A and B are shown apart, each in its own frame.
Chain A
Amino acid sequence: MKRFFLSLCLGLTLTAGLVTVQAETDILTFKSAEAEETYNGLIEELRCLVCQNQNLAGSDADLAKDLRSQVYDMVEEGRDRKDVIDYMVTRYGDFVLYRPAFQLKTLLLWLGPVVFLLLTLWLVTRWVRSQSVKPSETTLSDAQRETVRDLLDKHK
């Protein structure tokens, strides 16, 4: 019986926890599934400027809440992804984008990893080739051969 009450208490505490967690996420209704998808995509992709390593979706900062509601309003007004991105970039700069735009000044950022990968592959290939087994030129002298034979015989 005691165990029953304990698990009841535990169960209640856990569900209470769940309820508060749910209350903290915004409850939004969208006019279409498309709008919802656009909204969810955008808040994943936009950076919260207060806690800079979080996106709008993951941040609980006041500014993130405001920006989420701004994104929501714009999406519900029927503006598309690009409109919202432009709106944010004119106000907060390129930094607001988690996925940087493909521009001349971000070229290194986008192509750098590929360039480094190719460079490494090339270097490794070259190195591996240079390691290829060359026929050994050193041979044992007669005396050494004798010693080896002795040792092998001894441990038979």
Chain B
Amino acid sequence: MKKGALIPLIIFAVLVVFLGIGLGLKPREVPSPFIGKAVPEFRLPELMKDGESIAPADLKGEVWMLNVFASWCVSCRAEHEVLSNFINAEKVMVLGLNYKDEPDNAKKWLGALGNPYQHIAVDYDGKVGIDLGVYGVPETFVVDKKGIVRHKVTGPVYQETVRDTLLPLVLKLREEKV
């Protein structure tokens, strides 16, 4: 066989490898630039406690999660039960960020589905959402005791996400010393 005859085959093999890698990529999951950095500071009014406000600084010293949700968001409804079960079972401190939502709708939504959040910050105009790089609700950040973002889930949290990622991570972070 001539040497040149192999060239198309080689090109084909290289293409297959690249296309194969391409199939495995998830372009919707934009890596968060906040991983390993401090969670952005903000102070927002609490949804359920009139006159009070909440800031990430208030939660320092604890492993906590920030969950971005809204009553208009269908995937939030989908993840709500899984997330609530996890929060209640492991007693995870969770700050909910009510993103671009009418407070009344949010209260109704939580009334119907249950409220697993210890704190809920009202981000009515979505400015804090921009500061957090939120681009698809729901999003869930895991923050360590020092206030550093350690992980981010974009999109709904599934049972598998809890089992494979969130639960092991929260347990590990709780072991870390401040």
Contact = CB atoms under 8 A, between A and B. Distances in A.
B50 to A, nearest CB: 27
Interface stretch (A1-9, A14-22, A61-69, A148-156): A61-69
Contacts of A49: 30, 135-136
A63 B135 contact: yes
Contacts of A62: 100
Contacts of B31: 93, 95
Contacts of B28: 52
B126 A92 contact: no
Nearest to B100: A62
Nearest to B27: A52
Contacts of B129: 66
Given A49-B135, A66-B130, A70-B130, A92 B100 contact: no
Interface in A42-88: 49-50, 52, 62-63, 66-67, 70
A41 B129 CA distance: 24
A50 B136 CA distance: 7
B22 interface: no
A66 B32 CA distance: 19
B168 interface: no
A91 B30 contact: no
Interface string A88-115: 0111110100000000000000000000
Interface in B106-140: 126, 129-133, 135-136
Contacts of A52: 27-28
A66 B128 CA distance: 11
Interface residues of A, number: 14
Contacts of B126: 66
A90 B27 CA distance: 19
A62 B133 CA distance: 14
Given A66-B130, A67-B130, A91-B130, A50 B135 contact: yes
Nearest to A70: B130
A93 B30 contact: yes
A70 B33 CA distance: 19
B30 A95 contact: yes
Given A66-B126, A91-B133, A92-B135, 5 more contacts: A90-B33, A92-B133, A93-B30, A93-B32, A95-B30
15 contacts: A50-B135, A50-B136, A52-B28, A62-B100, A67-B130, A70-B130, A89-B33, A90-B33, A91-B33, A91-B130, A91-B131, A91-B132, A92-B33, A93-B31, A93-B32
